Structure 1
Amino acid sequence: MKILVLGGYGLIGDAVIGRLLRDGHHVAGLGRDILDAQRRRPVVRWIAADMSKLLAAEDWLPVVAGMDAVVNAAGALQDGPRDRLDAVHRGSVVALVAACEQAGVRRFVQISAIGTDPASANPFFSTKAEGDKAVTSSSLEWTILRPGLVIAPAAYGGTALLRALAAFPGFIPAVMSRQPIQTVSVTDVAEAVSRAVAGALPPRSALDLVETEAHSLADVLLAFRAWLGLPPARIVPIPAFLGRIAAVVADGLGLLGWRSPLRSAALVALARGVTGNTRSWNEISDHRLQPLEATLAAMPAHVQERWFARLWLLKPLVFGVLSLFWLVSGIVGLIRQDAAADILVSHGLSPALALGTVLAGSVADVVVGAAILVRSFARAALMGMIAITLGYLSAATMLAPDLWLDPLGAMVKAIPALCLVLVALAILDER
């Protein structure tokens, strides 16, 4: 079959594409940033498109033409500069379904979420429910799959946060640690999609994909810590108000383009519990969904998983420290520009050139220190930091080599700061 997978390089979408390829299908994947995906899966026909801008059936018709099935594995957690929930979850799905009906697409698989409700005050759950309604109101052979907490070898968003908290040194911090969670292996989700597109599931079915038994969040974190091979640690409950403060900060970072899983929508989902009903799946399938223990055992962790878990929580600290360092450096330079210029004058520069150099350098420091806080500018800001540092070290070496022997180590300290920039570049990618 010819199958289109929306969100094809995401946590679920990538696993679905891998399974469909093994089944022998011809697969196309759609997403906004497809360059990395093209390199990793060149056999897939990748389509670069932003779903939030495909809001009419005519926009989708060229995309779905000739397809036998469509799998919608795309989604977003919360509104932000890169994400518009109503457009992605509802508007584009309404248009897509209409296009599929016009183009003669036979089957449609919608990856939804546990807890969708059109009356929910949370936009994630309400817009997801509206998208589901558009699917169920169609004439297509549809299947709606509602996975619990999806566990995969890859880790984005909430599952990355779980790994990071599990790897916390000395203890494991947890907000609402007693809330129930039912997990599902990403391989089981891909299996369900495979069966749905093949017609092996009853058409027009809505199915929860969750393990049989629920675990508390604390138990999930302890299981992840053991999976990482780290020494046992106790769970330390974090007051709910601290979680809300963290969510407000994460929401603010979301406005700057950072997609933190700590945002308010995630806390709302956790507060209601991530649980579903296994009965509907068990009644139609002989494939039992794996419990958490089996899921983790099937993807053993090694040193790279421990590296990732430890670095993940350090990432905001790295970027915050770099921003503060460059902002303070620039502001101090502007406040004490005369003193800084005097140093350059003492090494042979004219007063005018020295003052101009100090002002230009200080402004550049402030610009890159502020730009690194905005996700879309972060890479350029980091490259600017490298260029400025190398320029500073080169110019100082030529004009005032004696500064290398300064007892306060101003020149020497620039080198570890440069190394921290390289670390930030290495961990910048989100998926």
Structure 2
Amino acid sequence: MNVLVLGGYGLIGDAVIGRLLRDGHDVTGLGRDVQDAGRRRPAVRWIAADMSKLLAAEDWLPAVAGMDAVVNAAGALQDGPRDRLDAVHRGAVVALVAACEQAGVHRFAQISAIGADLASANPFFSTKAQGDQAVASSSLAWTILRPGLVIAPAAYGGTALLRALATFPGFVPAVMTRQPIQTVAVTDVAEAVSRAVAGSLPPRLAVDLVEANARPLAEVLTALRAWLGLQPARVVPMPAILGRLAGAVADMLGILGWRSPLRSAALAAVARGVTGDAAAWNRISGRPLQPLEATLADMPANVQERWFARLWLAKPVIFACLSLFWLVSGVVGLIRQEAAADILVSHGVSASLAHILVPVGSAADILVGAAVVVRSLARHALLAMIAITLSYLAGATLLVPGLWLDPLGPLVKTIPALCLVLVALAVLDER
């Protein structure tokens, strides 16, 4: 069959594509940033498109033409510069369903979310439910799948955060530790999609995909820590106000383009509990979905998982330190221009050149220090930091080589700062 998968490079979408390829289907993937996906999945035909802008049936007709089935694994957590929930979850799905009906696409699999509810005050859940409603009211042979907490070899968003918390030294900090969680292996989600595409599930089916029993969040964290091969540690409940504060900070970072899983929408999802009805799928499939223990046993962790989890926690600290370092350096240079210029003059730089270098250098420091916290500018800012630092070192070596022997080490100390920039570049990618 010819199958179109939306969001095919995401946590669930990539697993779905892998399964459909193994089933022998011809797969087309659609998403905003498909360059990396094309390298990872060269057997897939990729379409670069922003779903939030495909809000009419005619916008979708070229993509769905000739398709036998469509799988919608796309989604967003919260509104932001790159995400519009109503457009992605509702508007685009309404238009897509209409296009599928016009083009004669027969089967449609919708990856929804546990807790999707038209009456929810949370825009994530309400818009998801509106998209589900558009699918369910169509003439297509549809399947709506609502996974619990998806566990996969890859980790984005919330699952990455849980891995990171599980590696915390000495103890495991968490809010809402008693909230019930039901997990599902990404392979089981992909299996369900495979069956939906093949038509081996009952028609017009909406079903939860969760393990049989719920467990508290603290138990999930404990299991992840053991999976990572770390010594047992006590899960310490954190005050709820810390969670709200973290959510507020993450929401502000979302305005700057960072897609933190700590945003208020994610915390609201945990607060209601990530639970569903396991019995319905068990009746349909004849077997329960595997529990968390079996999921983790099927994907043993190695050193790369520990590196990732630890660096994930360190990443915001790294970027905050770099931003503050460059901002403070620039501000101090502007406030004390004369003193900074006198230092250069004392090492043989002409007064006129010194009074040019100090404000220009300070302005550059402030510019990159501010830009590095904007997600779309971060890579350019980090590269600029490297260029500025190397220029600073080269210029100082030529003009005032004695600074290398200065007791306070103004040149020597730039080397570890430069190394930190390289670390930030290495961990910048989110997916």
Tell me the TM-score range normalised by the shorter chain.
over 0.9
User: Structure 2: which amino acid aligns with 1:92?
Assistant: A
Measure how far apart 1:284 and its partner are. Answer: 1.2
Partner of 1:272: 272
Measure how far apart 1:282 and its partner are. Answer: 1.2
Measure how far apart 1:203 and its partner are. Answer: 1.1
Partner of 2:240: 240
Deviation by residue 1:71-127 (Cα, 9 ceiling, x = unmatched): 000000000001000000000000000000001100000000000111111000000
User: Structure 1: which amino acid aligns with 2:94?
Assistant: V
Partner of 1:69: 69
Measure how far apart 1:288 and its partner are. Answer: 2.6
Partner of 2:185: 185
Partner of 1:208: 208
Deviation by residue 1:40-84 (Cα, 9 ceiling, x = unmatched): 111100110100010110110001110000000000000000100
Report if aligned partners of 2:11, 2:154 keep a CA contact under 8 Å in 1: yes
For 1:190 and 1:320, locate their aligned partners in 2 and report how far apart those are by CA, in whole Å. 38
Report if aligned partners of 2:228, 2:305 keep a CA contact under 8 Å in 1: yes
User: Structure 1: which amino acid aligns with 2:4?
Assistant: L
The secondary structure found in structure 2 opposite 1:319 is helix
The secondary structure found in structure 2 opposite 1:207 is strand
Measure how far apart 1:283 and its partner are. Answer: 1.4
The share of aligned pairs that are identical, in percent, is: 80
For 1:310 and 1:260, locate their aligned partners in 2 and report how far apart those are by CA, in whole Å. 16
Report if aligned partners of 2:167, 2:230 keep a CA contact under 8 Å in 1: yes
For 1:287 and 1:338, locate their aligned partners in 2 and report how far apart those are by CA, in whole Å. 76
The CA RMSD measured in Å over matched residues stands at 0.7
Measure how far apart 1:280 and its partner are. Answer: 1.4
Partner of 1:226: 226
For 2:417 and 2:254, locate their aligned partners in 1 and report how far apart those are by CA, in whole Å. 26
TM-score, normalization: structure 1? 0.99
For 2:353 and 2:87, locate their aligned partners in 1 and report how far apart those are by CA, in whole Å. 53
For 2:344 and 2:139, locate their aligned partners in 1 and report how far apart those are by CA, in whole Å. 76
Partner of 2:420: 420
Measure how far apart 1:353 and its partner are. Answer: 1.8
**Which residues in structure 2 correspond to 1:123-142 (within 5 Å)?**
123-142=123-142
1:294 lines up with 2:294 in the alignment: yes
User: Structure 2: which amino acid aligns with 1:232?
Assistant: P
TM-score, normalization: structure 2? 0.99
Partner of 1:195: 195
User: Structure 2: which amino acid aligns with 1:180?
Assistant: P
Deviation by residue 1:330-364 (Cα, 9 ceiling, x = unmatched): 00000011111122223333322211111111000
User: Structure 2: which amino acid aligns with 1:170?
Assistant: G
User: Structure 2: which amino acid aligns with 1:195?
Assistant: R
**Which residues in structure 2 correspond to 1:7-22 (within 5 Å)?**
7-22=7-22
Measure how far apart 1:365 and its partner are. Answer: 0.2
For 1:44 and 1:64, locate their aligned partners in 2 and report how far apart those are by CA, in whole Å. 15
Partner of 1:384: 384
User: Structure 1: which amino acid aligns with 2:99?
Assistant: A
For 1:286 and 1:36, locate their aligned partners in 2 and report how far apart those are by CA, in whole Å. 38
For 1:382 and 1:57, locate their aligned partners in 2 and report how far apart those are by CA, in whole Å. 41
The secondary structure found in structure 1 opposite 2:168 is coil
Deviation by residue 1:302-337 (Cα, 9 ceiling, x = unmatched): 000000111101000000000000000000000011
Deviation by residue 1:114-160 (Cα, 9 ceiling, x = unmatched): 00111111000000000000000100000000000000000000000
For 2:66 and 2:17, locate their aligned partners in 1 and report how far apart those are by CA, in whole Å. 18
**Which residues in structure 2 correspond to 1:373-412 (within 5 Å)?**
373-412=373-412
For 1:23 and 1:355, locate their aligned partners in 2 and report how far apart those are by CA, in whole Å. 69
Measure how far apart 1:403 and its partner are. Answer: 0.2
For 2:248 and 2:180, locate their aligned partners in 1 and report how far apart those are by CA, in whole Å. 24
Report if aligned partners of 2:180, 2:215 keep a CA contact under 8 Å in 1: yes
The secondary structure found in structure 2 opposite 1:28 is strand
Measure how far apart 1:397 and its partner are. Answer: 0.4
The secondary structure found in structure 2 opposite 1:108 is strand
Deviation by residue 1:140-194 (Cα, 9 ceiling, x = unmatched): 0000000000000000000000100000000000101000000000000000000
1:30 lines up with 2:19 in the alignment: no
Report if aligned partners of 2:212, 2:279 keep a CA contact under 8 Å in 1: no
Measure how far apart 1:200 and its partner are. Answer: 0.3
For 2:35 and 2:403, locate their aligned partners in 1 and report how far apart those are by CA, in whole Å. 44
Partner of 2:326: 326
For 1:179 and 1:66, locate their aligned partners in 2 and report how far apart those are by CA, in whole Å. 45
Q: Which runs of 5+ in 1 are unaligned?
A: none
**Which residues in structure 2 correspond to 1:247-286 (within 5 Å)?**
247-286=247-286
For 2:94 and 2:376, locate their aligned partners in 1 and report how far apart those are by CA, in whole Å. 29
Measure how far apart 1:237 and its partner are. Answer: 0.3
Report if aligned partners of 2:256, 2:374 keep a CA contact under 8 Å in 1: yes
The secondary structure found in structure 1 opposite 2:143 is strand
The secondary structure found in structure 2 opposite 1:211 is coil
Count of equivalent residues: 431
For 1:404 and 1:346, locate their aligned partners in 2 and report how far apart those are by CA, in whole Å. 15
The secondary structure found in structure 2 opposite 1:132 is helix
